[in-house]
Each structure stands twice: as structure tokens, then as C-alpha cells.
Structure 1
């Protein structure tokens, strides 16, 4: 397989796996809510991050399985989706002309060849759309990083705790944290120095984000956004991660018992009022994790905002007794489903008996069509 085809195949597989993973996550979340485990935010966040790692590792699993099969091992393992559909068709599962069915089965391979060779208007539109989305996404990301760098560099260092730099800024009204190549930065609005309660809540919240590794995950998801610009499942997945990391962070800060729940909620409401007046540079500056943001769409539509959801969750906070057990019970089937899907959507390595049979049926069907046309021509003459 040539490198271009390999990259395109991996890109298509990644989009399929993200879509499948999000559907699995919706099913798991529904089951958790029905089981009264909707407050297990930390476990759910860990689950999403682990499944995303499983998506990244799935090509290596497929490669390892292919290596084993080429060396004579695991020959009986055949979960290829295309082969299963072909077998189902040959057993009379549904009615369709063999030529049409073969065209449908080979649709992905045909599309990949057209894209690689830039043949046809569909392939040209797909290439143009991908390049434009990549350019827009990359420029947006670069501009966002520049805005973030300006905000951080404009502040002045208040304190240092190892690799963590606490900075005071007059250019932001909302506390947030980010990182550079080596150091972490927690940026606090200057006016919070005179508000002891808000300062304590903000620092505790941002330090918890650092402990959870949320900044690294935000960087990864933001960096990958241009590649999956047209995949709605990826954007929905990222929103789920963003919501769960805030809910998990809130719960963990209160679990430590150093901050009162009323003080925490008052700080969220106070800072949210400030976010309604934030400047454009702060809005586009990524990657960062903030204390709170205002959900303007919810305010316009009259829906329950995420801030309301956070406060409701804090007031009804429950601690999970066995989070590790719940994590193990949920992550194992999801990871197994991702790996199984990754193997199933691969292109068949060789011609199976069912594919040979399908090719024979197609050739017979074409031969019958040629004979029919020839007979019709002789009758007319």
C-alpha cells in the first residue's frame, strides 16, 4: 500500500472510530443515568480519555494482528465487516443485483482511489473541502495561541511553585490555566487580590485542573480539531470532555473539604458575570481551561445553562463508593468494541472464498447481460 493511500485509509478509519466511540458513549451515559450514577463525573472523564487513547492505539493493534496472521497465527480470526456483509448477501440475506452490490462494497476503495488520483468532481470537492478546513482550522489555532501568549506574557509573575507560575493580569477577568513547553501558568485577574474568597476558589480550581492533566488533553483535542473539522462526533466528544472536566474538578475541590460549597457557587456566579463582559482576545485564546464561562446560547434560548448544571450538581454532590470498579466495568467493553471495530473496518487483505464467489456471480451476471443484448440485436436484424 502506498503511503498516500495508507494515510487516507487511517484518516477515514479514525473518523469512523470517533463516530462509533461517541455512539458507545451515549449508550454508556444513558445506562449510568438510569443506574443513578450520573454524578460519577471523574470516572466518566477518565473513561472518555481512555477510549480516546484506545482509538489512537487501534492502528497498532490492527498491525499486530496482521503480523500474527501473516506468520501463521490467529488465522481463524476473521471479523472483517466487508467479508461478513458479502457472506450475508450470498446466503440470501437481501435482494440486490450482484453488480450493484459489488459496486456498493467497493465504494470506499473507489472513493480512496479517486481522491488519491484527483479523479472526478466528488473527489475534487472532498480534497478542496479538506484543504480549506485544514487551512481555516490551522490559522484559527495559530491566532488563538498568539492571543493566549499575549495575555500570559502581559501579566506579571506573582509567585512560583516549582514549574507552576502564578501570574496576575489586567487583561482578563476570568482565571484560567495553560502551559508552555515546560512550565505551567495559572493566570488570575488582578482585582481578585482584594477578594480572598474568589482567589482561594480560583486557585483551588485551577490547581485541580493541573492535577487531572486537563491542560494536556485540551491541547491534544484543540490540535486535532482542524483534522476532524467536518466530523460532528469529534466536536460533540470534545464538548463532553470539557463539561465533564469542569464537573469533575468541582466535585474534587469540594471533596477536599477546604472550601465551602456556598463560597464555591458564589464565586462561579460572580466570575460568570465577568465573562459576559470579556474581550474578544480572551474568547479565542486557546488552549486553556477556565474557571467558568458564560453560555450565551442557553441564555438566548431559555435553556438550562451549563453553569446551572454545575451548581445543581454541586448542591446534590454525591461521592462514588467504588469508582475503580465502575471504571473497569465500563472501559473494558468500550475499549474492546473500539478495537473490534478497528479490525472490522479494515480492507480485506486477500480474496476470501465468499469474495471469489461474488466475483463469479458478477461475471455470470455480466455475461448474461451481454448474451441478452446480443440476442436482442440478432432478433432486430
Structure 2
């Protein structure tokens, strides 16, 4: 189930993120940097929808592993063991890399904080504490639950009063937007989807959009002189060494510095209604996509659902005498009590040979009880005189395959 959830989410979010990254310039022009930044909130919204589907009891019942039935129980057990071990191995590799990546990120962050040697600065006005640290760092904000602003020791000498106020306002804007929390959440998402390169590019764009959003918020209704001071301070800070931490947010980050300065000149006021429409469209797209995927997933899951009681078909005597192999594709409904009804033959090869045996057997199957009737469940029965190799055969994508290999009684 975890593998399937990851694949569905990475497919859906890759499409959404790609559109967002490719159109970010147009969105910044039309909606403004702050509103464009809010569109990134659609990603945790999508993940929440996906998690709700995982914990849906109906869908959970439907998502069962396909199986292969053979006459030899040892072969049947070995086949299931191979499939299970493959899934466990894939989940183990994914989880190991994800945990290792988060551990590395947190270790880098801890090392960065431990080297700062912070000292409180009480003479600078701010809604959260301000500390000074080494000269070669840029102004930054740290902490999710107890945020604090850290500036270089030469902050007051390096920047004039106007620039100091603008820089502190920028860091406070990060705090008021909750960017320290969103940044941590973005890193967790990145660790979960480490195997998808699109998410690595997305994290970079997300951080850049954070900075553009704070720039726009600080400079709203500011004069061109203030914008020039802001740009000079940004260039000054960007000349310092980059920090090695992933999680802090700092004023003079070098990523996209050219675009940030350019946006100071071409700044446009935020437009509420286009942003609201964009959010509604994004929500509608993700919601509809999740609904469509869940519906398809449920349909596939119903096809793969394992019966709790199964009657094996009897190999027809005449077919055994004539050394005939074949298969039958059936469709049926599962009632709320788990019984099978309305069994139909979709296709069979050869015709008029195995249909009766297959239909009689499937009509007696029992599934787990459910809260609703499940319609159009499909299954395929393979009739073979000799045991096939340990491999699941496919007739159509998503169909459960059952190999019937019973020794016929030939009179």
C-alpha cells in the first residue's frame, strides 16, 4: 500500500509542480509574489487528501495483493514469499534513504547552530529575540517553535539604520508567514520523495518564492529610495559565505539574487481575486485528480481482492483427455455479506470448454463483508495440465490471475 501511495502522489504532484515551476514568472506578474507563494500550499493539501484515502476503510479493504494459485502448496507459498520480499525490500530502501536524508539535514542544521556562538542584541527592536554571531554570516531566522533572528556581529556598522530596519522586517515577514514551519515540512516531503528529481528542483523554487514573497511584503507601498536601499543591502549580504544549513531562512540568499533585485523594480500590488481563482482552480484540479485516481485505484483493488473462501474449479474430463489448456475471464459482483452474485463470462479460450467449471466455482466464493456492494469485479482462471513456472501470467492489466492446475480424474 505504501508503494502504491508513493507512486500515485509522485505522479500527481510531479504534474502540478512542473506546471507551477514553468509558469512561475507569469504567476508572479499576474498574481504577485505573495499569492504565487500561497499556491505551493496545494502540495500539503494534496498529500492530506492522499492520506485520507489511505485510511479509508473501504479502499483499504480493496487494496490487497494479487496472488497466484497452483496445485503445489510449496510453489504457492514460494511465489507469495518472493512477491512479499520484493515489496519489503523496496519499502526498506525507500525508508532507509528517507530517514538518512532527514538525519543528514538535521545534523547540518545542528552543526550550523552550534558554530554561531550567539549573543543577545537588546537595542534592536523586534517582535522576536535578535542575536549576533560571526561576521561572515547573513541575517537569518532560526527555529520553528522558538524563532530568533541572527545577524552578524558587525550588523550595525555594516548597514545603516534604514537598511537594518528593512532586513529585520524581511526576517519578521518569514516568521509571520510561518516559513520556518513550511520549510521544515518541505524538507520532510523532499525526504519522502527523494527518488523523484522534480521534487529537488521544486524545493529550490519553493525557497526562491519564499524570498520573493517576503521581499514583496516588506516593500509594499515603499518608495523607490527604500527599494534601492533594500537592493544594496541584499547585494552586501550575498557577498558573504553561504551557510551549510538547509532549514534556516536568511535575507541575502544567493539563489535567484538577480530575479529578486529585478522584482524590486517591477513590483506590482497583490491582486486578491485572481489569486483566489488560482487557488480554487488548483484545489479543484488536485481534488478531481485524487477522486479519479481513487476511483480507478478502488476498481483495480476490487479486481485484486483475495476471497476469504475459494472453491477451485474442476478440470473438465474431456479437456484433460484431449490435452487442452485454456483460460476463462469472468466478471461478478460482491454483495455486502461477501457472497458472489451475477457471475458472467467475459471471454474464454477455447470456447465452450472451461466456462461451466469456472462459473460454478466462482459462484461459491466468499469475500470479506463490506459496507457497500462491489460491482464488476474481474478475475481470470488459467486451466493448465502442467504446473507453470513461478510467474504470474497476465491477460489484461490489473486482472487477478489464478492458475488452476489440478490433476484431472480420467475415467
Q: Aligned residue for 1:289?
A: 249
Q: Is the 8 A contact 1:61 1:339 kept in 2?
A: no
Return the match for 1:319 from 257, 260, 269.
269
Change in 2 beyond 3 A, CA 1:150/1:63: closer
CA contact (8 A) 1:174 1:274 kept: yes
Q: CA RMSD in A?
A: 3.9
What corresponds to 1:350 in structure 2? 302
- Evaluate the alpha carbon distance shift between residue 64 and residue 125 of structure 1 in structure 2; reply closer, same or farther with a 3 A threshold: closer
Q: How does 1:1-381 map to 2 (within 5 A)?
A: 5=1, 7-26=2-21, 29=24, 32=27, 37=30, 40-49=32-41, 51-59=42-50, 62=53, 117-119=84-86, 126-127=90-91, 129-152=93-116, 154-159=117-122, 164-170=128-134, 172-181=136-145, 183-194=146-157, 195-196=159-160, 197-257=162-222, 260-275=226-241, 278=242, 282-283=243-244, 285-295=245-255, 306-320=256-270, 323-346=271-294, 347-348=297-298, 350=302, 356=331, 360=345, 363-364=348-349
Could you tell me how far apart the structure 2 residues matched to 1:338 and 1:241 are? 19
Q: Does structure 2 conserve the Cα–Cα contact (< 8 Å) formed by 1:24 and 1:334? A: no
CA distance in 2, matches of 1:19, 1:115: 31
Are the structure 2 counterparts of residues 31 and 176 from structure 1 closer, same or farther at C-alpha, using a change threshold of 3 Å? closer
Superposition TM-score, scaled by structure 2 size? 0.62
Q: Which has the higher helix share?
A: 1
CA distance in 1 between counterparts of 2:108 and 2:263 reads: 31
Match of 2:310 in 1: none
Question: CA offset at residue 62 of structure 1?
Answer: 3.9
In 2 relative to 1, CA 32–201 (structure 1 residues): closer, same or farther, beyond 3 Å? closer
- Which residue is equivalent to 2:308? none
CA deviation after TM superposition for structure 1 residue 58, in Å = 0.7
Which structure has the larger Rg? 2
Q: How many residues align?
A: 299
Taking structure 1 as reference, are residues 138 and 29 closer, same or farther at Cα in structure 2, changes over 3 Å only? closer
Q: Distance in 2 between matches of 1:30 and 1:311?
A: 14
Aligned residues of 1:156 and 1:168 also touching (Cα < 8 A): yes
1:115-141 deviations in whole A, cap 9, x for unaligned?
A: 97123xxx5774464245224303312
Instruction: Give the Cα–Cα distance (whole angstroms) in 1 for the partners of residues 143 and 44 of structure 2.
Output: 21
CA contact (8 A) 2:132 2:150 kept: yes
Structure 1 residues 175 and 29: alpha-carbon distance in aligned structure 2, compared to 1, 3 A threshold: closer
Distance of aligned partners of 1:229 and 1:326 in 2 relative to their CA distance in 1, 3 Å threshold: same
SS at structure 1 position matched to 2:222: coil
* Per-residue CA distance 1:15-41 (angstroms, 9 max, x = gap): 2332132144257647647xx51x611
| Aligned CA distance change for structure 1 residues 114 and 307 (closer, same or farther; 3 Å) | farther
Between structures 1 and 2, the one with greater strand share? 2
Distance 2:129 2:109 in 1: 18
The Cα shift of 1:229 comes to 0.8
Structure-1-length-normalised TM-score: 0.66
Look up the SS of the partner of 2:331 in the other structure.
Answer: helix
CA contact (8 A) 1:171 1:189 kept: yes
Q: Which ranges in structure 2 are unaligned for 5 or more consecutive residues?
A: 62-79, 305-328, 333-343, 355-381, 387-411
* Conserved? CA contact 2:186–2:203, under 8 Å: yes
Answer yes or no: is the 8 Å Cα contact 1:218–1:287 preserved in 2.
yes
The corresponding residue for 2:374 is none
